[in-house]
């Protein structure tokens, strides 16, 4: 894979994360604002070992230990499957591009197959364009929601603090992509990853803020606050903003799935060069099958329990090994001299 720019890395990770945020259920408590903020800080700390690893460590390791590569492929398959499962569970009918959730998922999977065929670099290049459309839609959402905002509903609370940290982590599957993608960034990779983490937390807090202030008690009726907000936020009197939300909704899902497919393709290609051609369609099929049979809560649990191993334990153990090797190397050079 060719190198990508740091802002492209931020955009692609953020868009994948934003998909998860819009599909978070039960996000409307005052205590969740502080929980999300705390989760963001923990995630910044968790990313430190991945960012401290030498460039190319991941490629070297998966070529040496194929089981490691398979572990990551399985994880990205679960993340992709969770995306489709969220699409089936969360999406209101008016935000789907086709009638019937299965039809919509198959059409999106076909699009993802097409977009992932150009490789991760092409996806990364498209990410800032999608990001700009997303920001415009977000501004429209804010404009509509601000008219209804009642700031007196905001209060400092600690209830739901720990559950919200857990929810935030279980919907942060793209964190595992940080290690793989940061290898391909030319420079300022730490700044790019931190920007993504802060932007995602800010987006989540923004949705929480408007869910509480603008949604009021209506947010409790529908399990998914973002979709309630899109129903409530119609800032233009003579024109509905649904088309913009449909566009963003579909594009976020495509970016999320394309990232997972692209990563699987990238890992498979490095492990078995022959797998390059067929890894994308096969992975999309293997995302759709578990998504059909498992609820997103089950897949989110899988992500939550495997995430610490993939983003913290493995990179940390490798970093310690690299550190020990460098000490031995220094001692050896010192002895020779």
The radius of gyration of the chain's CA atoms, rounded to the nearest angstrom, is 21
Instruction: Work out which of 45, 56, 221, 333 binds other proteins, going by CB under 8 A.
Output: 221
Instruction: Work out which of 92, 128, 163, 223 binds other proteins, going by CB under 8 A.
Output: 92
Length of the chain: 337
CB-wise, 117 or 194, nearer to other proteins? 117
CB-wise, 8 or 258, nearer to other proteins? 258
User: How many Cα atoms within 13 Å fall on the side-chain side of residue 137?
Assistant: 24
Q: How far is the CB of 161 from other proteins (least distance, A)?
A: 16
Asked whether position 59 contacts other proteins by CB under 8 A, the answer is no
| Distances from the Cα of 42 to the Cα of 29, 36, 48, 185, angstroms | 20, 10, 10, 23
- For residue 290 the two structure tokens come to 């578990």
Distance, CA of 302 to CA of 76 (rounded, Å):
11
- For residue 203 the two structure tokens come to 């987006």
Asked whether position 282 contacts other proteins by CB under 8 A, the answer is no
| Distances from the Cα of 282 to the Cα of 256, 288, 323, angstroms | 17, 10, 38
Angle between helices 161-170 and 31-52 (to 10 degrees): 40
Q: Which stretch binds other proteins (CB under 8 A): 33-41, 82-90, 214-222, 294-302?
A: 214-222
Asked whether position 99 contacts other proteins by CB under 8 A, the answer is no
92 and 86 Cβ atoms separated by less than 8 Å: no
Q: Which stretch binds other proteins (CB under 8 A): 51-59, 75-83, 107-115, 253-261?
A: 107-115
CB-wise, 150 or 331, nearer to other proteins? 150
Q: Which residues bind other proteins (CB under 8 A)?
A: 30, 92-94, 107, 110-111, 113-114, 117, 148, 150, 152-155, 215-218, 220-222, 228, 231-234, 237-238, 240, 242, 277
């Amino acid at each position: 894979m060719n190198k990508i720019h740091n802002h492209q890395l931020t955009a692609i990770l953020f868009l994948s994360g934003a998909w998860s945020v819009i599909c978070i259920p039960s996000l409307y408590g005052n205590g969740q604002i502080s929980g999300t903020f705390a989760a963001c800080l923990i995630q910044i700390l968790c990313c430190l070992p991945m960012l401290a690893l030498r460039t190319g460590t991941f490629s070297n390791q998966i070529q040496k230990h194929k089981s490691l590569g398979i572990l990551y492929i399985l994880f990205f398959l679960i993340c992709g499957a969770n995306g489709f499962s969220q699409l089936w569970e969360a999406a209101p009918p008016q935000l789907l591009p086709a009638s019937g959730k299965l039809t919509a998922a198959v059409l999106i999977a076909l699009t993802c197959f097409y977009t992932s065929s150009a490789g991760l670099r092409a996806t990364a290049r498209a990410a800032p364009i999608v990001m700009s459309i997303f920001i415009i839609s977000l501004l429209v959402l804010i404009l509509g929601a601000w008219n209804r905002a009642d700031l007196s509903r905001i209060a400092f609370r600690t209830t739901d603090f720990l559950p919200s940290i857990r929810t935030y982590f279980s919907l942060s599957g793209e964190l595992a992509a940080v290690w793989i993608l940061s290898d391909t960034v030319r420079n300022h990779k730490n700044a790019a990853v931190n920007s993504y983490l802060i932007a995602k937390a800010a987006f989540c807090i923004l949705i929480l803020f408007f869910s509480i202030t603008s949604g009021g008690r209506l947010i409790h009726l529908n399990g998914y606050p973002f979709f309630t907000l899109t129903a409530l936020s119609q800032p233009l009197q003579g024109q509905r903003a649904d088309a913009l939300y449909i566009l963003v909704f579909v594009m976020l899902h495509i970016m999320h799935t394309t990232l997972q497919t692209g990563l699987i393709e990238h890992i498979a290609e490095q492990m078995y060069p022959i797998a390059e051609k067929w890894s994308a369609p096969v992975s999309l099929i293997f995302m759709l099958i578990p998504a059909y049979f498992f609820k997103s809560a089950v897949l989110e649990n899988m992500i939550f329990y495997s995430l610490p191993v993939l983003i913290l334990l493995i990179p940390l153990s490798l970093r310690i090994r690299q550190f020990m090797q460098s000490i031995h190397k220094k001692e050896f050079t010192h002895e020779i001299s």
